[in-house]
Protein backbone atom coordinates (compact mmCIF):
# COMPACT_ATOMS: atom_id res chain seq x y z
CA UNK A 1 0.00 0.00 0.00
CA UNK A 2 1.19 3.47 -0.89
CA UNK A 3 1.42 6.01 1.91
CA UNK A 4 0.51 9.39 0.48
CA UNK A 5 0.73 13.01 1.56
CA UNK A 6 -2.65 13.67 3.16
CA UNK A 7 -4.63 16.88 2.72
CA UNK A 8 -4.57 18.49 6.13
CA UNK A 9 -6.90 21.42 6.01
CA UNK A 10 -9.37 22.30 3.37
CA UNK A 11 -7.22 24.82 1.52
CA UNK A 12 -3.83 23.19 1.98
CA UNK A 13 -2.18 21.89 -1.19
CA UNK A 14 1.16 20.59 -0.03
CA UNK A 15 3.02 19.44 3.06
CA UNK A 16 6.52 18.86 4.35
CA UNK A 17 7.58 15.57 5.88
CA UNK A 18 9.27 16.74 9.04
CA UNK A 19 10.11 13.43 10.75
CA UNK A 20 10.00 9.76 9.83
CA UNK A 21 9.35 7.64 12.91
CA UNK A 22 10.26 4.44 11.07
CA UNK A 23 12.99 3.45 8.67
CA UNK A 24 13.11 1.17 5.68
CA UNK A 25 12.91 -2.46 6.75
CA UNK A 26 11.02 -1.73 9.99
CA UNK A 27 7.72 -3.48 10.63
CA UNK A 28 4.95 -0.92 10.92
CA UNK A 29 1.83 -1.59 12.99
CA UNK A 30 -1.48 -0.01 12.06
CA UNK A 31 -2.22 2.92 14.37
CA UNK A 32 1.29 3.75 15.44
CA UNK A 33 2.76 7.07 14.37
CA UNK A 34 4.56 6.72 11.07
CA UNK A 35 5.62 10.26 10.22
CA UNK A 36 4.99 13.92 11.05
CA UNK A 37 3.78 16.47 8.53
CA UNK A 38 3.99 20.20 8.72
CA UNK A 39 2.03 22.63 6.58
CA UNK A 40 1.72 26.38 6.84
CA UNK A 41 -1.22 25.81 9.19
CA UNK A 42 -0.57 22.75 11.32
CA UNK A 43 1.91 20.18 12.52
CA UNK A 44 0.45 16.72 12.70
CA UNK A 45 1.43 13.21 13.59
CA UNK A 46 0.17 10.74 11.02
CA UNK A 47 -0.47 7.16 12.08
CA UNK A 48 -0.04 4.21 9.74
CA UNK A 49 -3.34 2.91 8.41
CA UNK A 50 -2.06 -0.58 7.71
CA UNK A 51 0.52 -3.05 9.02
CA UNK A 52 3.54 -4.54 7.27
CA UNK A 53 7.15 -3.98 6.36
CA UNK A 54 8.14 -0.46 5.35
CA UNK A 55 9.60 -1.26 1.94
CA UNK A 56 10.63 2.11 0.64
CA UNK A 57 10.72 5.76 1.63
CA UNK A 58 10.36 8.00 -1.41
CA UNK A 59 10.20 11.43 0.22
CA UNK A 60 12.83 12.32 2.81
CA UNK A 61 12.64 14.47 5.92
CA UNK A 62 12.56 18.14 5.06
CA UNK A 63 11.11 17.58 1.57
CA UNK A 64 7.91 19.33 0.55
CA UNK A 65 5.51 17.65 -1.87
CA UNK A 66 1.98 18.15 -3.11
CA UNK A 67 -1.05 16.47 -1.55
CA UNK A 68 -1.54 12.96 -2.93
CA UNK A 69 2.13 12.26 -3.74
CA UNK A 70 3.37 8.83 -2.62
CA UNK A 71 5.73 9.16 0.35
CA UNK A 72 6.45 5.53 1.16
CA UNK A 73 5.42 1.99 0.43
CA UNK A 74 4.31 -0.56 3.02
CA UNK A 75 4.06 -4.22 2.13
CA UNK A 76 0.77 -5.21 3.69
CA UNK A 77 -0.24 -7.82 1.13
CA UNK A 78 -2.66 -5.54 -0.66
CA UNK A 79 -2.38 -4.37 -4.22
CA UNK A 80 -1.14 -0.84 -4.83
CA UNK A 81 -3.79 1.77 -4.29
CA UNK A 82 -6.52 1.15 -6.75
CA UNK A 83 -6.69 3.33 -9.80
CA UNK A 84 -9.34 5.93 -9.29
CA UNK A 85 -12.73 4.88 -10.53
CA UNK A 86 -13.29 5.41 -14.22
CA UNK A 87 -15.59 8.26 -15.05
CA UNK A 88 -16.80 7.93 -18.61
CA UNK A 89 -16.36 11.25 -20.29
CA UNK A 90 -19.78 12.51 -21.07
CA UNK A 91 -20.38 15.25 -23.48
CA UNK A 92 -20.91 18.58 -21.78
CA UNK A 93 -23.70 19.24 -24.22
CA UNK A 94 -26.30 18.33 -21.63
CA UNK A 95 -25.07 20.94 -19.25
CA UNK A 96 -24.17 23.90 -21.40
CA UNK A 97 -27.38 25.57 -20.24
CA UNK A 98 -27.10 24.48 -16.64
CA UNK A 99 -27.00 28.06 -15.41
CA UNK A 100 -29.60 29.95 -17.38
CA UNK A 101 -31.89 26.91 -17.83
CA UNK A 102 -32.84 28.17 -21.24
CA UNK A 103 -32.19 27.21 -24.82
CA UNK A 104 -33.01 30.70 -25.96
CA UNK A 105 -29.68 32.43 -26.12
CA UNK A 106 -30.05 35.08 -28.79
CA UNK A 107 -28.11 33.98 -31.81
CA UNK A 108 -25.83 36.63 -33.22
CA UNK A 109 -27.63 38.01 -36.23
CA UNK A 110 -25.31 38.48 -39.16
CA UNK A 111 -26.17 41.89 -40.37
CA UNK A 112 -24.52 44.09 -42.88
CA UNK A 113 -26.22 47.10 -41.42
CA UNK A 114 -24.22 49.35 -39.15
CA UNK A 115 -25.19 50.72 -35.82
CA UNK A 116 -26.37 54.05 -37.18
CA UNK A 117 -28.27 55.22 -40.21
CA UNK A 118 -26.93 57.80 -42.67
CA UNK A 119 -28.34 60.63 -40.55
CA UNK A 120 -26.32 59.39 -37.59
CA UNK A 121 -29.36 58.15 -35.67
CA UNK A 122 -28.89 54.89 -33.75
CA UNK A 123 -30.51 51.73 -35.12
CA UNK A 124 -31.85 49.47 -32.38
CA UNK A 125 -31.24 45.70 -32.37
CA UNK A 126 -34.75 44.90 -33.59
CA UNK A 127 -34.56 47.49 -36.35
CA UNK A 128 -31.23 46.14 -37.57
CA UNK A 129 -32.57 42.61 -37.53
CA UNK A 130 -35.71 43.50 -39.46
CA UNK A 131 -33.75 45.47 -42.03
CA UNK A 132 -31.28 42.61 -42.52
CA UNK A 133 -33.94 39.93 -42.69
CA UNK A 134 -35.88 41.80 -45.30
CA UNK A 135 -32.91 43.08 -47.23
CA UNK A 136 -33.84 46.72 -47.04
CA UNK A 137 -31.79 49.78 -46.24
CA UNK A 138 -32.69 52.25 -43.48
CA UNK A 139 -32.41 54.97 -46.11
CA UNK A 140 -35.59 53.70 -47.72
CA UNK A 141 -37.72 55.01 -44.86
CA UNK A 142 -38.09 57.91 -42.48
CA UNK A 143 -38.01 57.69 -38.70
CA UNK A 144 -40.72 58.74 -36.29
CA UNK A 145 -38.64 58.29 -33.14
CA UNK A 146 -36.99 61.15 -31.27
CA UNK A 147 -34.53 63.02 -33.50
CA UNK A 148 -35.81 61.15 -36.52
CA UNK A 149 -34.72 57.74 -35.22
CA UNK A 150 -36.11 54.80 -37.18
CA UNK A 151 -38.23 52.75 -34.81
CA UNK A 152 -39.42 49.19 -35.00
CA UNK A 153 -42.85 50.49 -35.80
CA UNK A 154 -41.42 52.44 -38.73
CA UNK A 155 -39.86 49.34 -40.26
CA UNK A 156 -42.97 47.23 -39.74
CA UNK A 157 -45.12 49.93 -41.27
CA UNK A 158 -42.77 50.16 -44.26
CA UNK A 159 -42.94 46.42 -44.77
CA UNK A 160 -46.71 46.38 -44.53
CA UNK A 161 -47.07 49.26 -46.97
CA UNK A 162 -44.75 47.79 -49.49
CA UNK A 163 -46.52 44.51 -49.40
CA UNK A 164 -49.97 46.06 -49.67
CA UNK A 165 -48.90 48.40 -52.47
CA UNK A 166 -47.09 45.86 -54.57
CA UNK A 167 -48.98 44.75 -57.64
CA UNK A 168 -46.82 41.94 -58.97
CA UNK A 169 -48.29 39.16 -56.86
CA UNK A 170 -45.45 38.80 -54.35
CA UNK A 171 -45.42 38.93 -50.60
CA UNK A 172 -42.56 38.90 -48.13
CA UNK A 173 -43.10 36.68 -45.14
CA UNK A 174 -40.18 37.05 -42.72
CA UNK A 175 -39.01 33.92 -40.99
CA UNK A 176 -40.19 33.58 -37.42
CA UNK A 177 -37.73 32.44 -34.77
CA UNK A 178 -38.40 28.73 -35.12
CA UNK A 179 -38.02 28.93 -38.91
CA UNK A 180 -34.77 30.81 -38.51
CA UNK A 181 -33.41 28.30 -36.05
CA UNK A 182 -34.38 25.43 -38.33
CA UNK A 183 -32.84 27.09 -41.38
CA UNK A 184 -29.61 27.67 -39.56
CA UNK A 185 -29.48 24.09 -38.30
CA UNK A 186 -30.25 22.50 -41.64
CA UNK A 187 -27.70 24.61 -43.49
CA UNK A 188 -25.01 23.90 -40.95
CA UNK A 189 -25.76 20.20 -40.87
CA UNK A 190 -25.50 19.83 -44.62
CA UNK A 191 -22.29 21.77 -44.80
CA UNK A 192 -20.74 19.81 -41.95
CA UNK A 193 -21.62 16.24 -42.86
CA UNK A 194 -21.22 14.55 -46.24
CA UNK A 195 -24.71 13.01 -46.34
CA UNK A 196 -25.27 9.65 -48.01
CA UNK A 197 -28.78 8.30 -48.43
CA UNK A 198 -29.38 4.59 -48.21
CA UNK A 199 -32.78 2.92 -48.22
CA UNK A 200 -34.27 -0.50 -47.67
CA UNK A 201 -37.77 -1.84 -48.17
CA UNK A 202 -39.50 -3.52 -45.22
CA UNK A 203 -42.44 -5.90 -45.16
CA UNK A 204 -44.50 -4.91 -42.15
CA UNK A 205 -46.67 -8.00 -42.14
CA UNK A 206 -45.55 -9.23 -38.69
CA UNK A 207 -45.73 -5.77 -37.20
CA UNK A 208 -49.17 -5.24 -38.64
CA UNK A 209 -50.36 -8.51 -37.20
CA UNK A 210 -49.29 -7.46 -33.72
CA UNK A 211 -50.90 -4.06 -34.25
CA UNK A 212 -54.22 -5.49 -35.24
CA UNK A 213 -54.28 -7.88 -32.28
CA UNK A 214 -54.10 -5.12 -29.72
CA UNK A 215 -55.05 -2.13 -31.83
CA UNK A 216 -58.66 -1.54 -30.72
CA UNK A 217 -58.02 -2.13 -27.05
CA UNK A 218 -54.89 -0.02 -27.14
CA UNK A 219 -56.70 2.89 -28.72
CA UNK A 220 -59.54 2.64 -26.24
CA UNK A 221 -57.17 2.44 -23.33
CA UNK A 222 -54.67 5.10 -24.29
CA UNK A 223 -56.57 7.46 -26.53
CA UNK A 224 -54.19 7.19 -29.46
CA UNK A 225 -53.38 4.59 -32.07
CA UNK A 226 -50.48 2.16 -31.97
CA UNK A 227 -48.52 3.05 -35.11
CA UNK A 228 -45.52 1.51 -36.84
CA UNK A 229 -43.15 3.95 -35.22
CA UNK A 230 -42.75 2.31 -31.78
CA UNK A 231 -42.02 -1.01 -33.47
CA UNK A 232 -39.40 0.59 -35.68
CA UNK A 233 -37.95 2.33 -32.63
CA UNK A 234 -37.80 -0.96 -30.76
CA UNK A 235 -36.16 -2.72 -33.68
CA UNK A 236 -33.66 0.07 -33.89
CA UNK A 237 -32.81 -0.19 -30.20
CA UNK A 238 -32.31 -3.93 -30.41
CA UNK A 239 -30.18 -3.85 -33.54
CA UNK A 240 -28.06 -0.81 -32.73
CA UNK A 241 -26.07 -2.76 -30.15
CA UNK A 242 -24.45 -4.61 -33.02
CA UNK A 243 -23.61 -1.34 -34.76
CA UNK A 244 -22.19 0.90 -32.05
CA UNK A 245 -20.68 3.34 -34.50
CA UNK A 246 -24.15 4.48 -35.44
CA UNK A 247 -25.28 5.30 -31.90
CA UNK A 248 -22.65 7.99 -31.72
CA UNK A 249 -21.64 11.57 -32.23
CA UNK A 250 -19.10 12.73 -34.78
CA UNK A 251 -16.37 14.89 -33.24
CA UNK A 252 -13.49 16.59 -35.02
CA UNK A 253 -11.48 13.51 -35.66
CA UNK A 254 -13.16 10.90 -33.59
CA UNK A 255 -16.40 9.20 -32.85
CA UNK A 256 -18.02 9.43 -29.43
CA UNK A 257 -19.83 6.17 -28.79
CA UNK A 258 -22.67 5.84 -26.28
CA UNK A 259 -23.69 2.82 -24.23
CA UNK A 260 -27.30 3.86 -23.97
CA UNK A 261 -29.67 4.95 -26.68
CA UNK A 262 -31.28 8.37 -26.36
CA UNK A 263 -33.66 8.34 -29.29
CA UNK A 264 -34.88 11.61 -30.77
CA UNK A 265 -38.22 11.58 -32.52
CA UNK A 266 -38.80 14.50 -34.88
CA UNK A 267 -42.20 16.12 -34.32
CA UNK A 268 -43.83 18.49 -36.76
CA UNK A 269 -45.54 21.42 -35.06
CA UNK A 270 -48.56 21.91 -37.31
CA UNK A 271 -46.41 22.90 -40.28
CA UNK A 272 -44.91 25.70 -38.19
CA UNK A 273 -41.62 24.01 -37.50
CA UNK A 274 -39.83 20.93 -36.24
CA UNK A 275 -38.75 19.92 -32.81
CA UNK A 276 -36.96 16.77 -31.68
CA UNK A 277 -37.85 15.51 -28.20
CA UNK A 278 -35.58 12.74 -26.90
CA UNK A 279 -36.55 9.42 -25.32
CA UNK A 280 -33.85 8.75 -22.76
CA UNK A 281 -32.60 5.17 -22.40
CA UNK A 282 -34.90 4.02 -25.16
CA UNK A 283 -33.04 0.70 -25.24
CA UNK A 284 -34.52 -0.19 -21.83
CA UNK A 285 -38.06 0.28 -23.04
CA UNK A 286 -40.67 -2.05 -24.47
CA UNK A 287 -42.78 -1.31 -27.55
CA UNK A 288 -45.63 -0.23 -25.29
CA UNK A 289 -43.42 2.07 -23.27
CA UNK A 290 -41.92 3.58 -26.40
CA UNK A 291 -45.35 4.14 -27.87
CA UNK A 292 -46.54 5.92 -24.77
CA UNK A 293 -43.47 8.05 -24.45
CA UNK A 294 -43.51 9.01 -28.13
CA UNK A 295 -47.10 10.12 -27.72
CA UNK A 296 -46.55 12.10 -24.54
CA UNK A 297 -43.44 13.86 -25.84
CA UNK A 298 -45.22 14.72 -29.09
CA UNK A 299 -48.15 16.17 -27.20
CA UNK A 300 -45.81 18.20 -25.02
CA UNK A 301 -43.99 19.39 -28.13
CA UNK A 302 -47.18 20.51 -29.79
CA UNK A 303 -48.27 22.33 -26.65
CA UNK A 304 -44.85 23.93 -26.29
CA UNK A 305 -44.38 22.27 -22.93
CA UNK A 306 -41.12 20.46 -23.54
CA UNK A 307 -38.42 20.98 -20.94
CA UNK A 308 -34.83 21.65 -22.01
CA UNK A 309 -33.92 18.25 -20.53
CA UNK A 310 -36.32 16.57 -22.91
CA UNK A 311 -34.75 18.10 -26.01
CA UNK A 312 -31.10 17.32 -25.41
CA UNK A 313 -28.81 14.37 -25.22
CA UNK A 314 -29.96 12.49 -28.30
CA UNK A 315 -27.71 9.86 -29.85
CA UNK A 316 -29.86 9.07 -32.93
CA UNK A 317 -32.98 10.52 -34.53
CA UNK A 318 -35.98 9.03 -36.29
CA UNK A 319 -38.02 11.24 -38.54
CA UNK A 320 -41.48 9.91 -39.16
CA UNK A 321 -42.03 11.30 -42.64
CA UNK A 322 -44.44 8.58 -43.70
CA UNK A 323 -47.66 10.06 -42.34
CA UNK A 324 -48.50 11.48 -45.73
CA UNK A 325 -47.44 8.40 -47.66
CA UNK A 326 -44.15 9.65 -49.07
CA UNK A 327 -42.11 7.08 -50.97
CA UNK A 328 -38.67 8.00 -49.66
CA UNK A 329 -37.10 10.91 -47.85
CA UNK A 330 -33.48 11.99 -47.48
CA UNK A 331 -33.52 13.49 -43.99
CA UNK A 332 -30.95 15.97 -42.71
CA UNK A 333 -28.72 14.67 -39.94
CA UNK A 334 -29.38 16.07 -36.45
CA UNK A 335 -25.89 17.24 -35.54
CA UNK A 336 -23.64 15.92 -34.16
CA UNK A 337 -25.23 12.49 -34.57
CA UNK A 338 -23.86 9.99 -37.07
CA UNK A 339 -27.11 9.29 -38.86
CA UNK A 340 -30.88 9.79 -39.04
CA UNK A 341 -33.63 7.46 -40.15
CA UNK A 342 -36.71 8.38 -42.13
CA UNK A 343 -39.71 6.07 -41.88
CA UNK A 344 -41.67 6.57 -45.08
CA UNK A 345 -45.20 5.57 -46.08
CA UNK A 346 -46.48 2.03 -45.67
CA UNK A 347 -48.61 0.86 -48.57
CA UNK A 348 -50.09 -2.40 -49.68
CA UNK A 349 -48.05 -3.83 -52.52
CA UNK A 350 -47.73 -7.13 -54.30
CA UNK A 351 -44.58 -8.91 -53.17
CA UNK A 352 -42.95 -12.15 -54.19
CA UNK A 353 -42.86 -14.73 -51.41
CA UNK A 354 -40.47 -17.64 -51.54
CA UNK A 355 -41.97 -20.68 -49.83
CA UNK A 356 -41.14 -24.39 -49.79
CA UNK A 357 -43.74 -24.87 -52.46
CA UNK A 358 -42.29 -22.36 -54.88
CA UNK A 359 -42.79 -18.69 -55.46
CA UNK A 360 -46.07 -16.85 -55.12
CA UNK A 361 -47.41 -13.31 -54.98
CA UNK A 362 -48.95 -11.90 -51.82
CA UNK A 363 -50.32 -8.52 -50.82
CA UNK A 364 -48.21 -7.07 -48.04
CA UNK A 365 -47.85 -3.71 -46.25
CA UNK A 366 -44.52 -2.43 -47.48
CA UNK A 367 -42.59 0.72 -46.60
CA UNK A 368 -39.16 2.21 -47.08
CA UNK A 369 -36.71 2.97 -44.26
CA UNK A 370 -34.19 5.54 -45.45
CA UNK A 371 -31.07 6.41 -43.48
CA UNK A 372 -28.90 9.46 -44.12
CA UNK A 373 -25.49 8.84 -42.68
CA UNK A 374 -22.37 10.94 -42.24
CA UNK A 375 -19.75 9.42 -44.54
CA UNK A 376 -16.94 10.82 -42.43
CA UNK A 377 -17.89 8.37 -39.73
CA UNK A 378 -19.13 5.22 -41.43
CA UNK A 379 -19.28 3.61 -44.83
CA UNK A 380 -22.04 2.26 -47.01
CA UNK A 381 -21.46 -1.40 -46.18
CA UNK A 382 -21.80 -0.80 -42.46
CA UNK A 383 -24.94 1.25 -42.95
CA UNK A 384 -26.40 -1.30 -45.31
CA UNK A 385 -25.72 -4.14 -42.91
CA UNK A 386 -27.43 -2.18 -40.20
CA UNK A 387 -30.49 -1.49 -42.32
CA UNK A 388 -30.67 -5.15 -43.29
CA UNK A 389 -30.63 -6.17 -39.64
CA UNK A 390 -33.45 -3.76 -38.86
CA UNK A 391 -35.48 -5.07 -41.77
CA UNK A 392 -34.91 -8.65 -40.63
CA UNK A 393 -35.81 -7.79 -37.07
CA UNK A 394 -39.02 -6.05 -38.08
CA UNK A 395 -40.01 -8.88 -40.35
CA UNK A 396 -38.99 -11.88 -38.26
CA UNK A 397 -39.61 -10.85 -34.68
CA UNK A 398 -42.52 -12.45 -32.79
CA UNK A 399 -44.04 -9.14 -31.85
CA UNK A 400 -45.92 -9.11 -28.58
CA UNK A 401 -47.27 -5.89 -27.23
CA UNK A 402 -48.38 -5.65 -23.62
CA UNK A 403 -51.37 -3.49 -23.02
CA UNK A 404 -50.60 -1.72 -19.78
Partner 1 sequence: MAELTYREAVAAAIAQEMRRDENVVFLGEDIGAAGGVFKTTVGLLDEFGPLRVRDTPISEQAILGAAMGAAMTGLRPIAEIMFSDFLAVCWDIVANQMAKARYMTDGQVSLPLVVRTANGGGSRFGAQHSQSVENWAMTIPGIKVVAPSTPADVKGLFAAAVRDDNPVLFFEQKSLYASKGEVPEGDHVEELGKAKILREGDDLTIVALALMVPRALEAAERLEKSDGISATVIDLRSLVPLDTQTILAEVAKTGRMVTVEENPRLCGWGAEISSIVAEEMFYELDGPIVRITTPHIPLASADHLEDMMIPSVQRIYDEIRRAFS
Partner 2 sequence: MAKKPGNKSFEVDLANDDIGEEVRINLFRLQLECRHVEQRANDLFLQNLIKGTSHLGLGQEAIAAGFAGAMESDDYTFCTYRGHNHTLARGASMTGILGELMGRECGLLGGKGGSMHLTSVEHGAMGSYAIIGAHLPIAVGAAWSSQYRGSSQVTVCFFGDGTTNIGAFHEALNMAKIWELPVVFVCENNLYMEYTPIGNVTAVENPAADRASAYGLESIIVDGNDADEVYRVAKKAITKAREGKGPSLIEAKTYRHSGHSRADPGDYRPDGELESWLERDPVKSYRQRLIDFGFPKEEVDLLEQEVLNRVDEATETAKKSSPPSEEAIVKDVWADGGSSWRN
Query: By rule CB under 8 A, what string of x and - marks binding of each residue 291-320 to partner 2?
Result: ----------------x-x-----------
- Using CB under 8 A as the binding criterion, the count of chain residues that bind partner 2 stands at 30
Look at residue 25 and give its three-state secondary structure.
coil
**Which neighbouring-strand residues pair with 352?**
361
Among 60, 80, 83, 98, binds partner 2 (CB under 8 A): 98
* Interacting span for partner 2 (CB under 8 A) from 86-94, 201-209, 363-371, 385-393: 86-94
Residue 316 to residues 51, 95, 196, 201: CA-CA distances in angstroms? 53, 19, 16, 20
Among 26, 43, 140, 176, binds partner 2 (CB under 8 A): 43
Q: Which of 139, 259, 379, 392 is catalytic?
A: 379
Q: How far apart are CA 224 and CA 175, in angstroms?
A: 33
Whether 379 is catalytic is: yes
Long-range CB pairs of 212-221, under 8 A, 24+ apart, other chains included: 213/401, 214/401, 214/403, 217/403, 218/291, 218/401, 218/403, 221/403
Q: Does 81 bind partner 2 (CB under 8 A)?
A: yes
Whether 40 is catalytic is: no
Least Cβ distance, residue 1 to partner 2 (angstroms): 8
Q: What are the backbone dihedrals phi and psi of residue 202, each rounded to the nearest 5 degrees, phi first? A: -120, 140
| Residues lying near partner 1 in the complex (CB under 8 A) | 100, 102, 104-106, 109, 124-129, 146, 151-153
**Which neighbouring-strand residues pair with 73?**
2, 56
User: Among partner 2, partner 1, none, what binds residue 67 when CB lies within 5 to 8 Å by partner kind?
Assistant: partner 2
Cβ closer to partner 1: 61 or 309?
Answer: 309
Neighbour order of strands in the sheet with 43-47: 43-47, 33-38, 14-20, 64-66
189 with 373: CB under 8 angstroms? no
Residues in contact with partner 2 by CB under 8 A are 4, 6-10, 12, 41-47, 49, 67-68, 81-82, 85-87, 90, 94-95, 98, 101-102, 307, 309
Active site residues: 375, 379
Amino acid sequence: MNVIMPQLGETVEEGTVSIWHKKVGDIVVSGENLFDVSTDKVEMEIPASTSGELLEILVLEGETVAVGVTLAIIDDGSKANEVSVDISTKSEENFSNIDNQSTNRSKIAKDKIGKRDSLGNPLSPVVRRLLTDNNISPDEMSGSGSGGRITRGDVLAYLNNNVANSNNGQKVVPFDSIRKLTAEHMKRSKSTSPHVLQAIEVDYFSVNRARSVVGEVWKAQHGFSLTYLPFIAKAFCQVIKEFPRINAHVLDESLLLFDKVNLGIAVDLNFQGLVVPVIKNADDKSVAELAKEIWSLSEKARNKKLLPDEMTGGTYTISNSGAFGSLITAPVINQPQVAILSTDGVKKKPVVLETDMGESIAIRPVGVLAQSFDHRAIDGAYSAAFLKRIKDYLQDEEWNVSLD
